[in-house]
Structure 1
Amino acid sequence: MSGATTEFVYVSYIRATREKVFEALVRPEVARKYWGHENVSDWEPGSKWEHVRVQGGRQVELAGEVLEIEPPRRLVISWANASEYEDASRHSRVTFELATLGEMVRLTVTHDRLVPDSGMAQGIRKGWPLVLASLKSYLETGQALDVFAERRAG
């Protein structure tokens, strides 16, 4: 990626173990519950991952590569619209860092290498806070948030 880039950093504190939070990121059947999508991969460095929408038929919306993985502490993936997967210059990067703090986990999500004011950057700005709130709610209470409520209302 050439030119100026921007990044977003989100921090969430979740009453759970690092193992449970990490599992929620990489296990398709868990991600589906709080995200409405499945994250599908063999989770080996260099492998492809796909963000698959399950509502209304299976459709790959995002894709990238597993850049680093250190369960349950760190996961780094590239991130692109599925239609732009083959063009590595269009990939941004997401880093998930998990730290244990007593009975909770500090989950830091850094999404960087984004083109400022792009559609992807605008989507990230809205999407991550909702997804992370839903993840927190799901892991702490067993009840996820409706991450598609805004789409239906607007």
Structure 2
Amino acid sequence: MKDYSITTLTMVRTFEVAPERVFDAWLNPEVMRKWLFTLEATNKVAVSNPQVGGTWEIVDHRDGKDYRAIGEYIEIDPPKKLVFTFKMPQFSETEDTITVEMKEMEQGCEMTFTQNIIVPHEENWTESDIERVLGEYHEGSEHGWNLMFMGLKEFLETGKISYQG
């Protein structure tokens, strides 16, 4: 038996802005610091080297702790497709893969977000334990991304984010 499972989270969102603007929000550190795993008020680090093999990093400071998200760009095809890795080293050494695909629409664009979430198994887990934990990871990730995407949409369409955690 493998020592991990993968659950796939797919989310689709529409934005009333050009796909280039949404694509840029994933790569531009000045925009990333406003919504990607952080908020402007709590962001300590937002770095991006947007080229294949380049890395990105976000550090958010909340409740007296630093939360660090890092990854590497695998594919960059502006403004259509972005593929990168995602890891939070303080919680796990697992590295998820995220794919963001943009489709131009009559008014704005549609973004399809897919995250392959790696869920490490613990010793003595039964199949039902694995299914339960996969569901928890999926639900927790979906909740977090939903909040981030609400902020991203508001920022891109209005220029500000009213939700501040």
TM-score by length of 1: 0.79
CA contact (8 A) 1:25 1:39 kept: no
Where do 5+ consecutive residues of structure 1 fail to align? 149-154
Whole-angstrom CA distance in 2 between matches of 1:114 and 1:95: 15
Post-superposition, which runs of at least 4 consecutive aligned residues in structure 1 deviate over 4 A?
A: 54-60, 118-122
Q: 1:103 to 1:112 in 2, by over 3 A?
A: same
Decide which moves more: 112-121 or 21-30.
112-121
Structure 1 segment 1-154 matched on structure 2, within 5 A: 3-35=4-36, 36=39, 37=43, 39-53=46-60, 59=66, 61-83=68-90, 87=93, 90-115=94-119, 117=133, 121-148=138-165
SS of the residue corresponding to residue 45 of structure 1 reads coil
Decide which moves more: 114-123 or 99-108.
114-123
Aligned AA for 2:114? T
Q: 1:61 to 1:17 in 2, by over 3 A?
A: same
Where do 5+ consecutive residues of structure 2 fail to align? 120-129
SS of the residue corresponding to residue 46 of structure 1 reads coil
Q: 1:82 to 1:4 in 2, by over 3 A?
A: closer
Alignment coverage as a number of residue pairs: 145
What is the root-mean-square deviation in Å for CA atoms of aligned residues? 2.7
Identity of aligned pairs, percent? 28
Q: 1:120 to 1:62 in 2, by over 3 A?
A: farther
CA contact (8 A) 2:51 2:76 kept: yes
Q: Which is helix-richer, 1 or 2?
A: 1
TM-score by length of 2: 0.74
